[in-house]
Structure 1
Amino acid sequence: MDSDHAHVREFFAARAENWDARFPDDGPAYAAAVAELGLRAGDTVLDAGCGTGRALPELRAAVGPSGTVLGFDLTPEMLLAAARAGRGGSARLAVADATRLPLRDASLDVVFAAGLVAHLPEPGAGLHELARVVRHGGRLALFHPIGRAALAARQGRRITPGDLRAEPNLRPLLAASGWRLVSYTDEDDRFLALAVRQSRP
Structure 2
Amino acid sequence: MADDRTDVQQFFTARAADWDSRFPDDAPAHAAAVAELGLRPGDAVLDAGCGTGRALPPLRAAVGPSGTVVGVDVTPAMLAAAVRAGRDGSGALLLADVARLPLRDGVLDAVFGAGLISHLPRPAEDLRELARVVRPGGQLALFHPIGRAALAARQGRRITDDDLRAEPNLRALLAGSGWRMVSYADEDDRFLALAVREARQD
The CA distance in 2 between the partners of 1:5 and 1:93, in whole Å, is: 18
TM-score by length of 2: 0.98
Match of 1:48 in 2: 48
Unaligned runs of 5+ in 1: none
The CA distance in 2 between the partners of 1:112 and 1:121, in whole Å, is: 18
> Following TM superposition, by how much is the alpha carbon of 1:14 offset from its aligned partner in structure 2, in angstroms?
1.1
Percent identity between matched residues is: 75
TM-score by length of 1: 0.99
For 1:182-197, list aligned pairs within 5 A.
Answer: 182-197=182-197
The CA distance in 1 between the partners of 2:179 and 2:8, in whole Å, is: 25
Unaligned runs of 5+ in 2: none
SS in structure 2 opposite 1:112?
strand
Match of 1:106 in 2: 106
Match of 1:82 in 2: 82
Root mean square deviation of aligned Cα: 0.7
The CA distance in 1 between the partners of 2:198 and 2:12, in whole Å, is: 32
The CA distance in 2 between the partners of 1:26 and 1:153, in whole Å, is: 18
Match of 1:139 in 2: 139
Is 1:129 matched with 2:93? no
The CA distance in 2 between the partners of 1:2 and 1:55, in whole Å, is: 27
> Following TM superposition, by how much is the alpha carbon of 1:16 offset from its aligned partner in structure 2, in angstroms?
0.4
Match of 2:25 in 1: 25
Structure 1 runs (4+) greater than 4 angstroms displaced: none
The C-alpha deviation readout for 1:15-57, integer Å capped at 9, x for no partner, is 1010000001111110100010000000000000000000000
The CA distance in 2 between the partners of 1:146 and 1:11, in whole Å, is: 20
Match of 2:116 in 1: 116
Match of 1:57 in 2: 57
The CA distance in 2 between the partners of 1:139 and 1:128, in whole Å, is: 13
